[in-house]
């Protein structure tokens, strides 16, 4: 059940008055570094009305994913129509794999162009060094129309390779005449392969940060030799930024070199890593991608939190914040109370949002004493978790679990 409370924007400070039982107490939060960003993207057009509501809390604390992990048994590469007509190298580590060739828009030619779909029968696959294609390497084919009926409607064509295909270096060539400047995605999926590439990376980073520590692991081998690896950050605007590797093989740092990143957009960016390694003489190629949210820290929280009491009832909390950019911000609190046995018990979750201009602000959060009374909870109360969010840029700013007695 949600209790809605409309909070006028001008109601910034509540002072104790009208009863001798009115009082205020101040507690101090332990907070991490909160350096504000010098600049931020323009906020989304959102409501400027202030709102606050409370709902019962089941005791399950929020868990924000700070590190994310993706695993890949596939790789892909973008090539031109001219390259496909000449032939492109494909390391294949097992039989039964799927190869998909899909036309993509080329926006670098002045006038956007998109190549035609590739006729599967025009595709030939041969081991590097062989002069003729080997038909028995392909088990089945599917053209663009067949894949469209299966929900893949991007003009793709596909080959399913024979289970008897021997691992090795192959060459994929298209005999159909293609526009030289057209772009194509060649996607190789090696399902059930013992070699998978794992990428662990931060889920979000500060907008000013130009390097990203990651972990890269190829399963199935402890001594794989790195032949080649590349990394790029595809921004939400579509721009592609190349990243340089440094540090150890398993825990490298990816860094932007020689350019300044633009301000982060609302959508996350995409980190793409491609690795070519040699395992027992066999080349294994994998591409893995993950989302990375770059965040401009536009709001910071002061460590002091003031509790306002009236007739032994906790009526409101007051926090001090500082904004470096205008926008709509949200504070979420998870509160606990004391049950009849003297133990901490979950009380309720309080969410409040309002528009803030740059500068310092006192933020008054009205509480709902009835929710505490209905659950049989009494003082002391405790702040279990607190989060800050920039709603107008869809950016998480802070999460702490202070277990702070109010």
- Encode pLDDT of 143-197 as tens digits: 999 999 999 999 999 999 999 999 999 999 999 999 999 999 999 999 989 899 9
Q: Are strands 282-295 and 204-206 parallel, antiparallel or unpaired?
A: parallel
pLDDT at 133 (0 to 100) = 63
Q: Confidence band (pLDDT; 50, 70, 90) for 202?
A: very high
pLDDT at 49 (0 to 100) = 94
DSSP-derived letter for residue 384 is E
Q: What is the mean pLDDT of residues 251-276?
A: 89
Question: From CA 361, how far away is CA 62, in angstroms rounded?
Answer: 26
pTM, whole model, 2 decimals? 0.83
The upper half-sphere exposure of residue 388, i.e. CA atoms within 13 Å in the direction of its Cβ, equals 22
DSSP-derived letter for residue 207 is T
Question: From CA 245, how far away is CA 254, in angstroms rounded?
Answer: 5
What six digits make up the tokens of 179? Answer: 């526009």
Q: What is the mean pLDDT of residues 288-303?
A: 95
Q: What is the mean pLDDT of residues 235-254?
A: 89
pLDDT at 10 (0 to 100) = 27
61 has a pLDDT exceeding 50? yes
Residue 167, H or E segment: none
Q: What is the mean pLDDT of residues 276-283?
A: 90
Q: How far apart are the first and last CA of the chain?
A: 24
pLDDT tens profile 104-131: 988 887 788 889 999 999 999 999 887 7
Q: Confidence band (pLDDT; 50, 70, 90) for 373?
A: confident
Domain 2-66+297-405: CATH architecture, name and number where available? Sandwich (2.60)
Domains 2-66+297-405 and 198-294 share a fold: yes
4 has a pLDDT exceeding 70? no
CA–CA distances in Å: residue 43 to residues 81, 239, 339:
41, 21, 43
pLDDT at 112 (0 to 100) = 86
298 has a pLDDT exceeding 60? yes
Edge-to-edge strand list for the sheet holding 215-218: 67-72, 197-202, 215-218
Cis peptide before 401 (omega within 30 of 0): no
19 has a pLDDT exceeding 90? no
The share of the chain scoring above pLDDT 70, in percent, equals 94
Q: Which fold has domain 198-294?
A: Immunoglobulin-like (2.60.40)
3 has a pLDDT exceeding 50? no
Q: Confidence band (pLDDT; 50, 70, 90) for 310?
A: confident
Domain boundaries, given as residue ranges, for the chain: 2-66+297-405, 74-189, 198-294
**CATH 3.60.15.10, applies to 74-189:** no
pLDDT at 324 (0 to 100) = 95
Q: What is the mean pLDDT of residues 216-244?
A: 88
């Amino acid at each position: 059940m949600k209790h809605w409370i409309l909070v006028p924007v001008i109601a910034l400070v509540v002072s104790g008055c009208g009863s001798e039982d009115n009082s205020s107490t101040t507690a101090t939060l332990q907070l991490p570094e909160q350096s504000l960003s010098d600049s931020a993207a323009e906020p989304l057009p959102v409501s400027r009305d202030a709102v606050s509501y409370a709902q019962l809390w089941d005791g399950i604390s929020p868990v924000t994913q700070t590190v994310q992990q993706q695993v890949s048994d596939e790789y892909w590469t973008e090539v031109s129509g001219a390259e496909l007509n000449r032939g492109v190298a494909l390391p294949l580590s097992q039989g039964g794999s799927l190869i998909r060739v899909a036309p993509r828009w080329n926006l670098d030619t002045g006038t956007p162009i998109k190549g035609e779909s590739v006729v599967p029968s025009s595709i030939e696959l041969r081991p590097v060094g062989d002069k003729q294609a080997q038909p028995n390497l392909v088990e089945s084919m599917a053209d663009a129309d067949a894949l469209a009926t299966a929900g893949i409607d991007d003009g793709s064509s596909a080959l399913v390779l024979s289970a008897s295909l021997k691992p090795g270096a192959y060459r994929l060539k298209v005999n159909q005449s293609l526009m030289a400047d057209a772009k194509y995605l060649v996607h190789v999926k090696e399902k059930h392969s013992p070699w998978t590439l794992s990428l662990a990376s931060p889920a979000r980073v500060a907008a000013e940060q130009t390097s990203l520590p990651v972990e890269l692991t190829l399963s199935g081998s402890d001594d794989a030799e790195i032949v080649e690896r590349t990394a790029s950050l595809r921004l939400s605007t579509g721009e592609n930024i190349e990243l340089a590797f440094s540090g150890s093989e398993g825990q490298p740092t990816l860094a932007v070199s020689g350019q300044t990143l633009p301000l982060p957009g609302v959508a996350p960016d995409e980190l793409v890593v491609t690795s070519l390694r040699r395992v027992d003489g066999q080349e294994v190629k994998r591409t893995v991608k993950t989302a990375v949210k770059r965040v401009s820290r536009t709001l910071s929280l002061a460590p002091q939190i003031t509790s306002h009491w009236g007739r032994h009832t906790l009526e409101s909390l007051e926090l001090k914040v500082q904004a470096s950019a205008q926008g709509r911000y949200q504070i979420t609190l998870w509160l606990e109370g004391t049950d009849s046995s003297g133990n901490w018990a979950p009380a309720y979750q309080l969410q409040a949002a309002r528009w803030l201009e740059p500068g310092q602000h006192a933020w008054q959060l009205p509480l709902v004493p009835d929710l505490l009374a209905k659950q049989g909870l009494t003082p002391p109360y405790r702040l279990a978790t607190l989060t800050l969010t920039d709603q107008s840029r869809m950016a998480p700013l802070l999460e702490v679990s202070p277990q702070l007695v109010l």
